[in-house]
Amino acid sequence: MNKLFPTQEIGSIGKPNWRVLGYRGVPITDEDFSEARYWGKKLKVEGYEKLLELLKSDDSHEVREGIREWSAVYAIRLQEAAGLDIVFDGEQWRTEMYEALVKEVNGFRFIGHVRSWDNKYYRKASVVEEIKWLKPVYLDEYLFTSAHTDRVVKLPFTGPYTVTDWSFNEHYQRLLSETVKDPRELRKRAYRDLLFEVSRKLIRPEIESLVASGVRWIQIDEPALSTQPGKEQVSDFVQAINEATSGFDCKFSLHVCYSSDYEALFPELLEARGISQYALEFANRDSNRTGEAKRSGYGVVKLLGELAAGKEVGLGVTDVHNDSVESPSLVRDRVLHAARLIGDPSLIYVNPDCGLRTRSWKVTFNKLVNMSRGAELAREEYNQSA
């Protein structure tokens, strides 16, 4: 982009109650109805009165679909009103990043919930037979978003490593169990087999269908990539992602978050040649004070500068796990600090650490507004000093 420090979404936005209940056919409260009206007015959503009518209508398939579509329009308008340059639909049509993908393909069976942290859980599936891609999973979301915004559209979806890591691996382990007797070796080899199968048989066909329909920027979400400790695993990922992304006329960014050591991913990760941007979480590990000369957790930005990698960094400047809204000056400080470390400010994009799905719309909006203002402050300050 020509603009310095472009701002972008990074993942899901919370679903409003009227969306969750309305889509289930459960009556909403007056408070939920007021919320739909409030945000419709505030975000200047054109024709939002039609949503209000839908919310008062008797339940039907058409009503539910209509509510679902309106939630995407609202999420797009929220990002636009907050000043984001690169948008998507807040993943309003998805249940959850992992589930949304694997429930649409063959080979996976959901078997129950496991804990993520505290009282947060996710539904986990087992791979019980050979994986097979059936039809485009995200194409309708992309087409809908593109039809409802003039901003740059980036389509985020879950990558092969995370699908592998977040699934139980029954099928590929069973296939190897006759020949590999040591449990450690069995687990490791079955993991690799699944990773490459997901990459070839699921992710690549999905990318192929999206690019053929006009998608020009895909964000591969790989929160699991940072969980495995070794270089061997990073090399496996590189091979898998290269198999999935090679040969397409499309920009690919990679989102990784909550790693204990991003630097351990390099330099191997640079071999994933199709990836031009790393969108990483930083706010979670940084001081919340402004005016500090040294900030913590930015070692990987410095490393990318030293390696002269020429890769963009999607800089997480907004913590998605608490309601405290970062000030524009804090965002500015973070952006300028990263720009200094990497050496080329045009490589810095500005985003939240991760999806904001666990925050209310009020907090999400305020955080994104301040994020955009902070990026603007950084632009002004950089241009003055240049």
Partner 1 sequence: MENYLVGLQPRTEELIRGTRDWDRKRIGDEELEELRNAAASRDFSLQLKLEYTYISDPMFYWQDLIRPFVDSLEGLDSGPQLTRWFDNNTFYRKPKINAYPNILQRKLLKYYFERLWDLGSRAKVILPAPYGLYTASDDRYFPDKRSGVLSFAQEMERVALLLEEKGVGQIEFVEPFLFFKHPDQADVELAIDAFNLTTQRLKCEVMLHFPFGNLAGHFREVLDFSASVIGIDFFSTSLSDVTDFDTKKGIGIGCLDGRNSLVEESSWVVSFARSVVEKLGDIERIAIIPNCDLEFLPRVIAEEKMKTMAEARRRLESNE
Q: Which residues bind partner 1 (CB under 8 A)?
A: 111-119, 121-122, 124, 126, 165-166, 168-170, 173-174, 177, 182-185, 187, 223-224, 226-229, 258-260, 284-285, 321-322
Distance CA 334, CA 317 (A): 7
Task: Quote the least distance from Cβ 174 to partner 1, whole Å.
Answer: 7
Q: Which is nearer to partner 1, 7 or 226 (CB)?
A: 226
Contact criterion met (CB below 8 Å) for 159 and 242: no
What 3-state class would DSSP assign to 338?
A: helix
Task: Quote the least distance from Cβ 262 to partner 1, whole Å.
Answer: 12
Q: Which is nearer to partner 1, 170 or 271 (CB)?
A: 170
Task: Quote the least distance from Cβ 357 to partner 1, whole Å.
Answer: 14
Q: Which is nearer to partner 1, 285 or 362 (CB)?
A: 285
Residue position matching structure tokens 């409030």 = 38
- Residue 300 β-bridge partners: none
Task: Quote the least distance from Cβ 93 to partner 1, whole Å.
Answer: 22
- Torsion angles phi and psi, residue 360, rounded to 5: -70, 165
Ranges of beta strands (E only) in the chain are 86-87, 106-117, 120-132, 152-153, 155-158, 168-169, 217-221, 251-256, 275-281, 312-318, 348-352
Task: Quote the least distance from Cβ 359 to partner 1, whole Å.
Answer: 14
Q: Which is nearer to partner 1, 183 or 214 (CB)?
A: 183
Q: Which is nearer to partner 1, 15 or 311 (CB)?
A: 15
Task: Quote the least distance from Cβ 325 to partner 1, whole Å.
Answer: 15
DSSP calls for 45-84: -TTHHHHHHHHHSPP-HHHHHHHHHHHHHHHHHHHHHTT-
Q: Which is nearer to partner 1, 135 or 231 (CB)?
A: 231
The angle formed by the CA atoms of residues 304, 311 and 337, to the nearest 5 degrees, is: 55
Distance CA 171, CA 198 (A): 13
